[in-house]
Amino acid sequence: MDVLLLMFVTLAGYILMYKIYGKYIAKFIFKLNPEAKVPSRELEDGIDYVPTKKEIIFGHHFTSIAGTGPIVGPAIAVIWGWMPALIWVFLGSIIMGGIHDFGSLIISMRNQGKSISEYTSKYINTRTKFLFFIIVFLELWIVIAIFGMVIAIIFSMYPHSVFPVWMQIIIAVVLGIYVKKISRNITLATIIAVAFMYLTVWLGEYLPFSMPEFFGLPATGTWTIILLIYAFIASVLPVTTLLQPRDYINAYQLVVAMLFLVVGVFAASFSGNLHIVAPVYNPQPVDAPSLWPFLFITIACGAISGFHSLVSSGTSAKQVRSEEDALFVGYGSMLLEGSLATLVIIAVTAGIGMHYETAAGEVLTGVQAWTTHYSSWAAAKGLGSKITAFVDGAANMITATGISREFALAVMGVFVASFAGTTLDTATRIQRYITTELFSSININIFKNIYLSTFFAVFTAGILAFSAGANGDGALSLWPLFGAVNQTLAALALIVITVYLKTKGGFKWLLAGIPAIFMSVMTLWASFINQITFWEQKNGLLIFVNAIVVLIVIIIVIEGSIKFFNTKPEE
């Protein structure tokens, strides 16, 4: 299929579905009320609960849910062919991810901004709440522990990204102070902030930085420590000081990057150099697991991701200033992420064919470029391999506009590193909320202290990160579980949303119920296959943890089903 037509149809489809389906579920399913009390106003404290303009909270929410997820997932899943990946991203984001994110956000807003783990006790039972907490804590524990290493790897691959990524923090703090204390012309301030941000990207080309070893500590270990310290600071600061403004300008960074990509597709298509070089469908890639169910585990962000429910019911629900804004923030962000995942698919299935350099220095084009990079599951599944496929493919398309390849690579490298950073600091803040809620529910109130609860989140992640040595890659021991755990969380969130909608009467619950059944089946199926694999590998840790996860999921599915059938519509 022509790449330009493919991009136009899918992006137009997202806009159309936001206008039709999104507004339908907002008006008739969740019945948004602009006059309803919301946590950001009712519990405003200037630190976590802060009523925020929808454009700003949209920026925070989107960059927090995106991270590197909509890049790495699609960049490996295309090994099964571009068509299955594209279909799952398009339909998944509209009918599954959208209802999942939007539902998690609005239910949290109607429950004082509490996390989905906490309000599970209201809609199912207290026993389920504690089981839910285990899944959530496990996911965030892995995310915080591993993202320091992820960012360190990106810094190593693209040393020119180090300077602009850290300069973004200074730009964000200045923007946050301006908006909070002056707030006269936010549009002008945004333009200036984004301009400065791209100036630092340009300067980064001339100021590359590679972290040296310190006292025998490798670069990844050093960066992990630095980033965990940063995450602690970012989590305890008021959201308006760093979290909101950084994510806000990162969102504009994304918009500019996506515009580069869209214009690049046009330019490369009209020059006749852009063609899809990946197979439409590749049922048996070398050494790869089966498409069913692993496609739906591999592509999470971009279609549906359990992590999104934590952001929706963690930070965003405490900042949305009106129920009316929840559609734009919750559903709109999911569709924009689907749009990004679509552009990623184009970059790794068409853009990569324009120019690909092997490790030996040989330059390949066309189908040969794609088949070399995706020669096997082992060759394509590594983090570096996935990021390289996207960055190189995207840079190839952007270069068709006349922009230098060096600057295009810099823009994409900074883009990936920046989004990984937003995931890290948001995950740390959410883990702090989760820790506080969990211990408060058993009357251990000392963790209401934000410094102690944040230290607990960072310290436990640090233990996992350095459990395997000074490289800071200890979380890799649990990483094979992450995809299934993340999608398990999505299934469980959909179960809670289904029970909630059952209380509203009619057949509204079907919109979440059908996706809940689908995701429950896919994740349990994948988890059982993983268990067999772990058993064959004689990996005792993964066998034990995966068995606990599977058991928890089965219990929550049973408890949720019982509650569903015993739930009657509210008067």
For residue range 516-534, what is the model confidence (pLDDT) as tens digits? Answer: 999 999 999 999 999 999 9
Confidence band for 184, pLDDT divided at 50, 70 and 90: low
Domain presence at residue 367 = yes
The sign of the torsion formed by the CA atoms of 204, 56, 137, 564 equals: negative
Which residues is 357 bridged to in the sheet? 363
Domain presence at residue 139 = no
The domain total for the chain is 1
User: Which class for 445: exposed (0-12), middle (13-18), buried (19 or more C-beta within 10 A)?
Assistant: exposed
pLDDT in tens, 376-408: 776 666 666 778 888 888 889 999 888 888 888
pLDDT in tens, 77-99: 999 999 999 999 999 999 999 99
Confidence band for 14, pLDDT divided at 50, 70 and 90: very high
Q: Who contacts 302 (Cβ-Cβ below 8 Å, separation ≥6)? A: 69, 70, 73, 74, 89, 92, 93, 97, 337, 338, 340, 341, 344
Cα angle value 86/476/153 (rounded, 5°): 75
Contact 555, 131 (CB under 8 A): yes
Rounded Cα distance between 302 and 549, Å, is: 24
Domain presence at residue 146 = no
Q: Who contacts 184 (Cβ-Cβ below 8 Å, separation ≥6)? A: none
Confidence band for 246, pLDDT divided at 50, 70 and 90: confident
pLDDT in tens, 304-329: 999 999 999 988 999 999 999 999 99
Domain presence at residue 78 = yes
Rounded Cα distance between 340 and 302, Å, is: 7
Give the predicted TM-score (pTM) of the model. 0.92
Rounded Cα distance between 562 and 128, Å, is: 12
- Inform me whether the pLDDT recorded for 488 exceeds 70: yes
Classify each residue of 302-340 as buried b or exposed e, where b means 16 or more C-beta atoms within 10 Å of its C-beta: bbbbbbbbbbbbbbbbbbbbbbbbbbbbbbbbbbbbbbb
DSSP state of 286: T
- Inform me whether the pLDDT recorded for 293 exceeds 90: yes
Q: What is the pLDDT of residue 380?
A: 61
Q: Who contacts 409 (Cβ-Cβ below 8 Å, separation ≥6)? A: 158, 391, 392, 395
Domain presence at residue 17 = yes
- Inform me whether the pLDDT recorded for 18 exceeds 70: yes
Domain presence at residue 461 = no
Domain presence at residue 435 = no
Domain presence at residue 334 = yes
Place of tokens 């339909």: 91
Place of tokens 């490298």: 413
Confidence band for 350, pLDDT divided at 50, 70 and 90: very high
Domain holding 241, by residue range, is 3-133+159-221+235-424+487-526+550-566
